[in-house]
Amino acid sequence: MRTTPILLVRLGAYLAFWFVALVYFLIVGGIAYLVAQAIPLIGLILFIVAFAGVVPLYRLAYHYVFYLLKAAHLAVISELLVEGKLPDGVNQLSWGKDQVQQRFGEVNAMLVVDEIVYAVVRRFTRTVYRMASWLPGDSLRQIVAIANRVVRLATIYVDEAIMARAFWTRGSVWSVAQDGVVLYAMCWKPMLKNAIMLMLLSYVPFVAAVVLLAAPIGFLIALISPTLAGWSVLLILLLAFLVKVAIGDSFAMAAIITTYQREIEGMEPDPAMMARLEQVSDKFKVLRERAAAEVRTMTSSSPTKATSPALES
């Protein structure tokens, strides 16, 4: 894979987060253990709260570190897909970050666009592909719920493909995102099929990490604190999840972007589909409003007051 350098950086960042989480868990978990010696119930509650504290830590790291790395990775994949290579002698991470800043101004701006695009994609997909929850039988309903959950998770990759399009398409970022959603809606069946397959395959690194790391990590935790050895399974699952995100999701992201580019080649956004999306999702209305506002701003700031062909599309 030609993006191995930036993939390894992403993996390293996730491993660093796991190490920080491990230290945090051992310290706070140790305090909870000491409290439990005096008041068992309070100690158990503190331990549960301490472990739950990893979630906000992950969200914080995602917004300030992990998303930046993913955005840079998207830029690199897009350039390789369209141009076939990166400029000679560039560092993939630095080059990718520069592309994000040039296209979106800052990472937070890209995150805002990304969240709206994901909301529209998720809502549209749920509208056109939702297995009936009213089917008789509890077992059948549970299977249906699992299938719907799989579809919902798969839409994350679709969102990333649409965001990647912003790096190879000129014009207003919001307009490109708007058109990208419309194009997905026009070819959602093959896109969603590939996204589901890739989502399932992305768990291969998760399973491999659990199998390979369970014994050594369990042994290490037992050496540090035999009392916490039983909880090592949670740390193993956390590490396996981070490996899955860094490796499995990266490969899936590259594959779905390739599929998306192939499926939308030669297509133009259909006004009828655009109108349908407006009926389905309020977020799409927001997307259209932001796109129109950005186009007006770009047009008014142009010395010639002329709209480029890219903006007209």
pLDDT tens digits, one per residue of 169-186: 877 899 999 999 999 999
Alpha-carbon distance of 256 to 159, in angstroms, equals 10
Digit-coded pLDDT (tens) for 96-119: 999 999 988 888 889 999 999 999
Identify the pLDDT of residue 307.
Answer: 44
- Those residues of the chain that have pLDDT short of 70 are 1, 130-141, 225-230, 301-313
3-state DSSP assignment of residue 49: helix
Element (H, E) at 173: helix 173-186
94: alpha, beta or left? (left if phi > 0; alpha if psi -120 to 50): alpha
- Residue 33 has what pLDDT? 78
Q: What letter would DSSP give residue 129? A: S
Domain ranges for the chain, please list them: 4-287
Cβ burial of 15 (10 Å; 0-12, 13-18, 19+) is middle
Listing DSSP states for 267-298 in one string gives: ----HHHHHHHHHH-HHHHHHHHHHHHHHHHH
Say if residues 243 and 209 touch (Cβ distance below 8 Å).
yes
pLDDT at 130: 63
Q: Is the CB of residue 168 less than 8 Å from the CB of residue 82?
A: yes
Both tokens assigned to 97? 């970050």
- The C-alpha atoms of residue 190 and residue 166 are separated, in whole angstroms, by 21
pTM over the 0.75 mark:
yes
What confidence score (pLDDT) does residue 311 get? 36
* Distance of alpha carbon 285 from the chain centroid: 23
Separation of alpha carbons 214 and 236, rounded Å: 6
pLDDT for 69 equals 95
The 8-class DSSP code of residue 229 comes to: G
Cα separation, 85 vs 76, whole angstroms: 9
CA angle 207, 209, 210 (to 5 degrees): 65
